[in-house]
Amino acid sequence: MKYVYYIIAIFLSISLVTACSNNRSEPSKSTPTQTQPVPDSQVMTGKEPASLKAIFQDAGVHFVGEQQIQAPDFTLQDLTGKSVHLTELQGKIVFLNFWATWCPPCRAEMPSIENFYNHYKEKDVHVLAVNLQEEVPVVRTFLEKNPYTFPIVLDSSGNTAQLYGIRGIPTTFILDRKGNVLGTLVGSREWDSQEVYRLFDTLLNS
């Protein structure tokens, strides 16, 4: 549980987006928090830190990899009742998205998440969308009308969202192969852009 304080500290340095307004948030490119240079032992080797930060910035994602934060582990069930453990995804780049069906910006970005998922599903990138505190029938009905195929799990209690310090949705985390948090974004954006693909191709090749 100690990790939640580090996660919250990240958000205090980020301009939070009011994600669930009636109007869709426009994708934006944000400037990452100014930090000290990343040490040579940084998990992302083979790239100068400034270059990696620039790639994150171009993709509109806040780079926080230099803080060496291990993503809090969790176990949640998908719509079939199967348990999904975050630690089981280590070895892959993880796209972790918190959302809800009632959130317009969440719904607005989901087609691009579907495109992103289809682009990378045969590679070492795992998409995991965490639904916040909605009943299974509600999510099922939503998916009947919007047949997205990327993996979805249910945070029925809200404990996982609390663990990650979620203050607005959608919120997305990008994790490296060891489960460290590399980047965060609060708010909606288009995830099937060339800038985002360049970011993930860079992470896959590092």
pLDDT, tens digit only, all 206 positions of the chain: 444 444 544 443 443 433 443 333 333 333 333 333 333 333 444 444 448 999 999 999 999 998 989 999 999 999 999 999 999 999 999 999 999 999 999 999 999 999 999 999 999 999 999 999 999 999 999 999 999 999 999 999 999 999 999 999 999 999 999 999 999 999 999 999 999 999 999 999 98
Q: Which two tokens stand for residue 163?
A: 């663990």
CB atoms within 10 A of CB 141: 12
194: its two tokens = 């060339």
Residue in 139, 97, 98, 103 with CA at minimum distance from that of residue 23: 103
Name the pTM for this structure. Answer: 0.79
d(CA 185, CA 113): 14
